[in-house]
A and B are shown apart, each in its own frame.
Chain A
Amino acid sequence: MRTKSNIFYQFRAPSPRQLIWRQFNDNPIVVTAYYVLAIIMLAMLFAPILAPYSPEQQFNDAISLPPAWHPEGEMRFVFGTDDLGRDILSRVLYGARYSLGYPLLATIIAAVIGITIGAWAGMSRGVQSSTLTHFLDVVLSIPSLLLALVIVAILGPTLHTVMIAITLVLIPQFIHSVHNAFYTERSKEYVIASKLNGCSRNYLLRRVIFPNITSVVVIQFTYALSTAILDIAALGFLGLGVQAPAPEWGTMLARSMEHMYLSPWSMLLPGVALFMTVLTINILGDSLHRAIQQQDR
């Protein structure tokens, strides 16, 4: 008997990725965040072209100059200068490397290491797995900044040690979330079905489970990135991170703190830059999270 079902218009449900994309595009705030982040990234890459001056160039005739819209401001320094007569805009543009580029690098390294260990741990059972879980619980309950502080105290405050500290601090977070995702995914029916089909452990890990935890990894990545940015900036702010005269945003803020009475504007641009970067990353991560949650419903 021929079935008549093929005369119906076949409705094709959109794939998960399409759904997420749709949800993304629906929300104007998310689209804005997406573009703002892209602009910040571009500004970071092309800082030498965009910046009007070198970040270390000191103008002795223009010390602590207010921004251009202020009556005393000058057009050549749009956002004013700091107490050594350096152009704030140029410093912030160059500073994006320290405050966004290095955290990005640290997060990528931490992600690669963390995901590998997490996946391995997620596939193992018994004592091995539970020891790791409890150990991670302990490490994670200690704030990342505190751990980073201890590492800096051992190795001394330089750019390298800050990078090492931040990477080390982020790894447990990745291990934890990937491990948990693997753990819940592993006992689901579809994995059992593949196991019964005789798939190898390696195949299970890469082809069966991993595609299903991509969302967890992506969310964790955005979360880790914003933590890394804030932690590097916080270390810089405390004077234990990237050392002056590097135009790191946290260090710039710490410097502006000393001149709060005289030139309050010097904390404007670095703060806004930091805030916008973290905000856009958070918005993207948040909406991704929500899109994935919506799918599960």
Chain B
Amino acid sequence: MFRYSLSRILLFSITLWLLSIFTFALNYWYPGDPLTNMSGVVGEMTTAYQQESINRAMDSTIFRQYGQYIAHLVEGNWGISLSTQEPVFTAMRHHLGASLELIILGSAVAIVLGLPLGTYAALRQRQWQDKLIMTLSLSTYSIPVFWFAQLAILLFAIQLGWSPIAGQIHPLYAIETQTGSILLDIILSDVDYRGAAFINALQHLWLPTLVVALIPLTMLIRMIRSAVLDTLQLNHIKAARVRGLSDTTILFKHVLPTAIQPVLREAGLQFSVLVTNIIIVEVVFNWPGLGGWLVKSIFERDYPVLQGGLLCLAMLILVANFTIDLLHAWRYPQTRDVIDAD
């Protein structure tokens, strides 16, 4: 496990390095002045610009420029936004919190519903329950998430009025942003209407969470179902039956642990699908997360923000993949050698 972790960490650092080169190169590819794109300092003649130019070694070789770029990134100096003049790094932390809240809740809903539903469908293979679950999941899997979000708003927010249309919380509840995650912020805040604010936040939260969870949920159902079906065909499960174990014991002690393995291996891919949906859902629900922030920055040609959002989202995905890899190797030790061999 130690050797494996080491090789994964090495790979992870190489990946981060490639990512940093990519974002560094982007600054030169975007329209406009590279230094402005990097730091958000405008106006060629101003002293601030001159100062920044010296700081980032713009007169020197490209390698020194890259070195300075990395140094600034590590320090947390990600430049300032061209449109709001806010430091990108602090803004990013708040947006990250809001996004993570959706991501974590969404995946939790997907896992909590997907695991039992997928298993149930597999156990009822070719019966009507299975067919119903599979038809539903195949059709929801094909719904474009922005259309689904619109339909959900139309039904739940406009027709039924169960939920507000957009936003994180009603602006009248003045909750100070600390982490970006609205539920955490309410708990951390010391206002006396915390209970009411919490309920209001939940009202805002449940619909986007469901929309975000939907597609990972349907994919999870399909993956779990086929993994369980494959596992049920395996010899050791049949052998366990012959040994007289009950179906429940076999399901929980042998089938599910084996079936989770391929699903866990694909979980990284699911995560990137989740992030794609997050970007769109945040725009539709006007959620102050990374995705909405990123899309807005493209409209406003706010390149420091775009770079911050991109770096943050990409790193989020890479970290998630890295964690999933380690988790997979730790839980299923015999797959380590196979992965090493590749």
Instruction: Report the minimal beta-carbon distance from B341 to chain A, rounded to whole angstroms.
Output: 10
Q: A142-B317, A282-B141 are in contact. Are A239 and B18 (CB under 8 A)?
A: no
* Chain A, 223-237, CB within 8 A of any chain B CB: 226, 230, 233-234, 237
Binary CB contact string for chain B from 130 to 147 against chain A (1 if under 8 A, 0 otherwise): 000000001101111111
Name the residue of chain A whose CB is nearest to the CB of B19. A138
Does A188 make an interface contact (CB < 8 A)? no
Complex contact B30–A153 (CB within 8 A): yes
* Chain B, 269-316, CB within 8 A of any chain A CB: 269, 272-273, 275-276, 279-280, 283-284, 294-295, 298-299, 303, 306, 310, 313-314
Identify which of B150, B153, B306 contacts A271 (C-beta below 8 A): B150
Which residues of B come within 8 Å of A, CB atoms? 11, 14-15, 18-19, 26, 29-31, 138-139, 141-147, 150-151, 153-154, 158, 268-269, 272-273, 275-276, 279-280, 283-284, 294-295, 298-299, 303, 306, 310, 313-314, 317-318, 321, 342
Question: Which segment, of A41-49, A57-65, A249-257, faces chain B?
Answer: A249-257
Complex contact A237–B276 (CB within 8 A): no
**Cα separation A150 to B150 with both chains bound (whole Å):** 25
Instruction: Report the minimal beta-carbon distance from A242 to chain B, rounded to whole angstroms.
Output: 15
Complex contact A234–B11 (CB within 8 A): no
Complex contact A146–B147 (CB within 8 A): no
Instruction: Report the minimal beta-carbon distance from A141 to chain B, rounded to whole angstroms.
Output: 5
Instruction: List, sorted by A's number, 14 A–B pairs whose CB atoms are closer than 8 Å.
Output: A134-B11, A140-B269, A141-B317, A143-B276, A145-B276, A146-B310, A149-B279, A154-B29, A237-B146, A254-B146, A260-B158, A261-B158, A267-B154, A279-B138
Complex contact B299–A239 (CB within 8 A): yes
Identify which of A138, A145, A238 contacts B15 (C-beta below 8 A): A138
Instruction: Report the minimal beta-carbon distance from A271 to chain B, rounded to whole angstroms.
Output: 4
Instruction: Report the minimal beta-carbon distance from A139 to chain B, rounded to whole angstroms.
Output: 9
Does A264 make an interface contact (CB < 8 A)? yes
Which residues of A come within 8 Å of B, CB atoms? 130, 133-135, 138, 140-146, 149-150, 152-154, 156, 226, 230, 233-234, 237-240, 250, 253-254, 256-257, 260-261, 264, 267, 271, 274-275, 278-279, 282-283, 286
Contacts of B146 in A (CB 8 A): 233-234, 237, 250, 253-254
Q: How many A-B residue pairs have CB under 8 A?
A: 115
**Cα separation A266 to B162 with both chains bound (whole Å):** 23
Identify which of A135, A146, A254, A261 contacts B313 (C-beta below 8 A): A146
Complex contact B144–A150 (CB within 8 A): no
Contacts of B284 in A (CB 8 A): 257
Instruction: Report the minimal beta-carbon distance from B222 to chain A, rounded to whole angstroms.
Output: 9
Identify which of A135, A142, A256 contacts B314 (C-beta below 8 A): A142
Those 3 A-B pairs whose CB atoms lie nearest each other, nearest first: A279-B142, A271-B147, A143-B276
Name the residue of chain A whose CB is nearest to the CB of B314. A142
Complex contact B272–A149 (CB within 8 A): no
Q: A130-B342, A238-B280 are in contact. Are A282 and B138 (CB under 8 A)?
A: yes
What 9 additional pairs, Cβ within 8 angstroms, besides A234-B280, A253-B144? A130-B342, A144-B276, A146-B279, A234-B276, A264-B158, A271-B147, A275-B143, A279-B139, A282-B142
**Cα separation A234 to B143 with both chains bound (whole Å):** 12
Complex contact A274–B144 (CB within 8 A): yes
Contacts of B306 in A (CB 8 A): 150, 153
Name the residue of chain B whose CB is nearest to the CB of A274. B144
Identify which of A144, A154, A256, A261 contacts B150 (C-beta below 8 A): A256
Name the residue of chain A whose CB is nearest to the CB of B222. A286
Complex contact B144–A143 (CB within 8 A): no
Complex contact B29–A146 (CB within 8 A): no
**Cα separation A269 to B173 with both chains bound (whole Å):** 39
Contacts of B144 in A (CB 8 A): 230, 233-234, 237, 250, 253, 271, 274-275, 278
Identify which of B11, B145, B273, B298 contacts A153 (C-beta below 8 A): B298
Q: A146-B276, A154-B29 are in contact. Are A264 and B138 (CB under 8 A)?
A: no
Instruction: Report the minimal beta-carbon distance from A32 to chain B, rounded to whole angstroms.
Output: 12
Contacts of B279 in A (CB 8 A): 143, 145-146, 149
Name the residue of chain A whose CB is nearest to the CB of B280. A234
Select the residue from A150, A261, A279 with max chain B CB neighbours within 10 A. Answer: A150
Name the residue of chain A whose CB is nearest to the CB of B230. A293
Contacts of B145 in A (CB 8 A): 234
Name the residue of chain B whose CB is nearest to the CB of A149. B298
**Cα separation A108 to B19 with both chains bound (whole Å):** 28
